[in-house]
Amino acid sequence: MKLRAATLAFCFALLAAGPYAHAQPATPTELPGDDPRFEQRFRELTEELRCVVCQNQSLADSNAPLASDLRREVREQMNRGLDDKQVVEYLVARYGEFVRYRPALNPLTAALWGGPFLLLVLGAAVLLVRLRRRAQQPEAALSAEEHALAQQLLAAGPADKAAGETREGGK
Amino acid sequence: MIPEFGQLALIVAFCLALLQGVLPLWGAARGDARLMAVARPAAHGQFVFTALAIGCLGYAFLAHDFSVIYVASNSNSALPWEYRMSAVWGSHEGSLLLWAFLLSLWTVAVTVFSRSLPQLLLSRALGVLGLVSAGFLSFLLFTSNPFLRLLPPAPDGRDLNPLLQDPGMIFHPPLLYMGYVGFSVAFAFALAALLGGRLDAAWARWSRPWTLAAWVFLTLGIALGSFWAYYELGWGGWWFWDPVENASFMPWLTGTALVHSLAVTEKRGGFKNWTLLLAITTFSLSLLGTFLVRSGVLTSVHAFATDPRRGLFILVLLALVVGGSLLVYSVRAPRMEAGGRFGLLSRESMLLANNVALAVVAGSVLLGTLYPLAMDVLGLGKLSVGAPYFDTVFLPLMAPVVFLMAVAPFVRWKGDGAGRVARQLVWAAILGAVAAAAILALVANAGWRSALGAFLAVWIVAAAIRHLAQRVRAGAPGAGLATRLRRLPLAYWGMWLAHLGVAVFIIGVTGTRSLESQSDVRLAPGETATLGEHAFRLAELRQVQGPNYSATRARVEVSREGKPVAVLEPEKRMYHVQRMPMTEADIDYGFMRHVYVALGEPVDDRSWILRLYVKPLVGWIWGGCLLMALGGLAGAADRRYRLRPAAAPRAASTGSAAPPASPAGAAARV
């Protein structure tokens, strides 16, 4: 978190050439529109896109001037009637795959998207094998030493037993 | 002079760490009690000298010694004293020193609270801790010395990064590191058990409170970091799936699995291999977290560590720890497995499922975190793996874990009937389904995630209440309700609170996700914007001077249906030295909702963009984490971990020729 904060600050520092350099944006300040459904869609879309000059920030969150420009771009493309997918494609064409926070599924990302599923299958297999083995395993016999100890414990008084008692239920 | 003193202290600490790492392990192998006896004083000495070193660095910061490079890079004469103190861990070298210091602190704690441990086990554990410490201290001395001088001295320092000038900086890194480093104790106990070839319920009983304590620190550290990001970064998010966050989340996941696995090892003598593997994995992931954050592989533009030697050093250290411990594991572990039979539906099978599922989740997070790095290293292009990916993957994997969490406490050890368990949970399921249906029907933009969240939260709470009621009913006959509640063991309350904390956390996440309203508005002084039922009036804007920054401060009067709710004063700060603008959001913290205002940018001479949020239930996210931590604390404080001193003489009386088989171990299998 600390590093994230720090890099973010660096991102600001890079872009703010002087104090409040971004206070007078070269382009007009972006202002939210009136249609709440459009705004909702806009927000969800910009959360899936990366501010390409920041360390790790979405377009929706970033205060960097470039992010502001890109948001305006997204708004424009949406107004032109492009759907979400087309807007993303438009940005990927200009800024590369790096702009997507949800990597596209292709041969290079097959392991990324398939990995968790594979892990799940593997985990389930391990679980099943272990459970079956355990369910069929014969009761473990006590060693002579353990048996003697158990006898000793059973014979001992309740106060003594408390120390060795294992309580059930505590997770 | 003082910095040289600190440097000397580090060297002495390193030598002591080597002694502590080598002699007791050697002594344990040869059965030489004199060599083993070195462990304790060496650990104490090491603590004294690392404390001296970090004290010297702190002094250099307080005294504005800008002839020390590290101080000159991270402090300034105008920096308030509390941030000069926390600037000690504001960057790479100091964080590592904090790491080493906390490790020696944990080690001393082990020597103090584990007097009843068999000497062999304790010597081995302390030896392993000494080796880890020697690794970190050599890293400090050879590649990351915080005491290097700058000649001639800088007239003034470059200041601490403004984002770190926050109370969060004082507490978050030490808490997080206490968690990271604390898992080294579980790791050391695991290796000691492997080296000794002996792992019984008594071992689990020694390891458990240590593991729980580390887990509590890590939980608190992560939660505090998340809260800090929430109020500091100014866009109201609380988790970003940033690699740095994932780095702390992965050991948390496996640490959670470890806590549960240890329960089985303690009570039933089973899952020994799992427990050992999880202890090794959790500490390795803690190291990996340090590596990821500190080596600069995350293309940190802030360049915590641009020096490739450092990255290489950590990588070698990581390889030694992971490789070495896995080697010991592979040679020794097959002899360890034991434990009785258990049915397909049993407490054991539930906890095993928990273990496997949490490991799968941790593996997936690891995959998503390292994938872009691997792509980059292999020259396959730059890729972003962000929140949308992790949300997609995490939810389906984690939901079953959370679902089973409510079931497991009802299931008996060894074996149980599905019908019996299901009958007890019917009502929880019905209530959960009603909650899911209600949120779908009543909340406009609620999707399947909100419905799932509502179901799981209610399901857990209902099941937890039912389980508590059962335990109370089974309590001592004739005793009153209060007495029965009081007589429940602390460990039970720990489990209960921690599980309830998960539900509270889910309520927070679901509530914010589905009920939040947000708006960016342009306001001039005197103007009002509305967001849902809340009205925000920008009363005034004025310039203020801080100790090392100047700021524009807005005064925003928030009202609801005409009644005043709060006056919020968000700021936009400009720090003088680093010329960096900072957003300071202001929040009205309510139990049921937060009202959050952040200053965006000025539009013209008069008006500014303001970012407004109303975030229902968001505080429950951290409330849930606090409950989890409280649960962990209660678990660690359970009576049976404090019974050790009384039990020790008896165990010793069974004879020293045959190492005392723990009474608990035998009893658990009877």
Residue of B291 and A31 predicted with greater confidence:
B291
Whether residue A17 is predicted with pLDDT greater than 60 in this model: the reply is: no
Check whether A15 has a pLDDT greater than 80: no
CB B385 within 8 A of CB B374: no
pLDDT of residue A153: 80
Q: What CATH fold (topology level) applies to the domain A2-99? A: Helicase, Ruva Protein; domain 3 (1.10.8)
Q: Please give the single-letter amino acid code of residue B235.
A: W
Q: What does the pLDDT read at residue A13?
A: 39
For CA atoms B426, B431, B433, B434, the dihedral sign is: positive
**How far apart are the C-alpha atoms of B9 and B19, rounded to whole Å?**
15
Q: For the ranges A117-126, B284-293, B508-517, which has the lowest average pLDDT?
A: B284-293
Please report which confidence band the pLDDT of residue B665 belongs to, taking 50, 70 and 90 as the band edges.
very low
**How big is chain A, counted in residues?**
171
Q: Kindly report the average pLDDT of chain A as a whole number.
A: 73
Mean per-residue pLDDT, B136-149: 92
pLDDT over threshold 80, residue B177 = yes
* Chain-centroid distance, C-alpha B128: 22
Q: What pLDDT score was predicted for residue B75?
A: 92
Higher pLDDT, B209 or B291: B209
According to DSSP, residue A50 is labeled B
Listed range (B134-148, B488-502, B632-646) with the worst mean pLDDT: B632-646
- Interchain proximity B383–A135, CB inside 8 Å: no
Plot region of B601 (φ>0 → left; ψ -120 to 50 → alpha; else → beta):
beta
Instruction: Read off the pLDDT of residues B558-595 as tens digits, 9 standing for 90 and up.
Output: 999 889 999 999 999 999 888 878 889 999 999 999 99
pLDDT band at B295 (very low <50, low <70, confident <90, very high): low
- Asked if pLDDT for residue A157 goes beyond 90, the answer is no
User: Taking CB atoms and an 8 Å cutoff, what residues of chain B touch A51?
Assistant: none
Other Cβ atoms within 10 Å of B38 Cβ, number? 22
pLDDT grade for B89, boundaries at 50, 70 and 90? very high
Mean pLDDT, rounded, for A98-111: 89
Please tell me the least confidently modeled range out of A91-105, B31-45, B151-165, B652-666: B652-666
Does the pLDDT of residue A31 top 80, yes or no?
A: no
Q: Are A101 and B389 within 8 A, CB to CB?
A: yes
Reported confidence tier of residue B306, pLDDT bands at 50, 70, 90: low
Query: What is residue B114's three-state secondary structure?
Result: coil
Q: What is the pLDDT of residue A81?
A: 85
**Which of B233, B356, B392 lies closest to A8 in CB terms?**
B233
Chain centroid, CA B352 distance in Å: 23
Contact B503, B460 (CB under 8 A): yes
The stretch B608-635 carries a mean pLDDT of 94
Which residues of chain A are within 8 Å of residue B389 when distances are taken between CB atoms? Answer: 101-103, 112
**What's the confidence (pLDDT) of residue A139?**
66
Residue B289 has what pLDDT? 86
* Three-state secondary structure string covering A99-142: HECCCCCCHHHHHHHHHHHHHHHHHHHHHHHHHHHHHHCCCCCC
Average confidence (pLDDT) over B393-409? 93
pLDDT at A21: 33
Higher pLDDT, B658 or B3: B3
Measure in Å the smallest separation between the Cα of A153 and chain B Cα atoms.
8
Mean pLDDT, range B251-271, rounded to an integer: 91
Q: Is the pLDDT of residue B391 over 80?
A: yes
Which among A13, A95, A3, A53 is positioned nearest to B89, based on CA atoms? A3
Contact predicate B116/B202, CB 8 Å: no
Chosen for mutation from B261, B360, B361, B518 (greatest number of chain A CBs closer than 10 Å) is: B360
> Span B534-543, mean pLDDT?
94
Q: How many CB pairs under 8 A join A and B?
A: 267
The answer to whether the CB atoms of B381 and A96 lie below 8 A apart is yes
Share of chain B above pLDDT 90, in %: 60
Comparing CA positions, the residue from A171, A133, A157 lying closest to residue B204 is A171
Nearest to B594 by CA among B198, B353, B238: B238
| Of the ranges B25-39, B224-238, B653-667, the best mean pLDDT one | B25-39
CA within 13 Å, CB half, B542:
8
SS3 B446: coil
Rounded to whole angstroms, how far apart are CA atoms A10 and A55? 9
> pLDDT at position B604, please?
83
> B217, B252 in Cβ contact below 8 A?
no
User: Tokens standing for B490?
Assistant: 């602390």
Which one-letter amino acid corresponds to residue A72?
A: R
Average pLDDT of the residues of chain B:
88
Under the banding of pLDDT at 50, 70 and 90, the label for residue A52 is confident
Which of A48, A132, A139, A171 is the best mutation test for B, with the most CBs of B within 10 A? A171
Q: Which helix (H) or strand (E) holds B615?
A: strand B608-616
Amino acid in position A91: L
Return d(Cα B252, Cα B318) in angstroms, integer.
Answer: 18
Nearest to B420, CA basis, from B502, B501, B520, B345: B345
Whether residues A29 and B302 touch (CB distance < 8 A) is answered with: no
pLDDT at B398 over 60: yes
Q: What is the pLDDT of residues B410-424, one digit of tens each?
A: 999 988 888 899 999
Domain boundaries defined on chain A: 2-99, 107-137
pLDDT of residue B328: 92
Cα–Cα distance for residue pair A12/B214, rounded to 1 Å: 35
Higher pLDDT, B48 or B603: B48
Task: Give the best-scoring range by mean pLDDT among A136-140, B205-209, B297-301, B312-316.
Answer: B205-209
> Does the pLDDT at position B64 exceed 80?
yes
Structure tokens, B20: 């502590």
Structure tokens at B438: 């209600």
- Mutant choice from A85, A108, A137, A166 vs B, greatest count of B C-beta within 10 A: A166
Interchain CB distance below 8 Å, B228 and A1: yes
Tokens of A154: 């059973």
A50 vs B308, residue with greater confidence: A50
Residues of chain A by 3-state class (helix, strand, coil), percent to 5: 65, 0, 35
- Sequence-separated (6 or more) residues with CB below 8 Å from residue B379: none
* Domain B1-163, CATH: 1.20.120
The band of B235, judged by pLDDT with boundaries at 50, 70 and 90, is: confident
Residues of A in contact with B234 (CB under 8 A): 63
User: Is the pLDDT assigned to residue A18 strictly greater than 70?
Assistant: no
B668 touches chain A (CB under 8 A): yes
Mean pLDDT score, B621-629: 97
Is residue B578 within 8 angstroms of chain A, CB to CB? yes
CB contact under 8 A, A55 and B301: yes
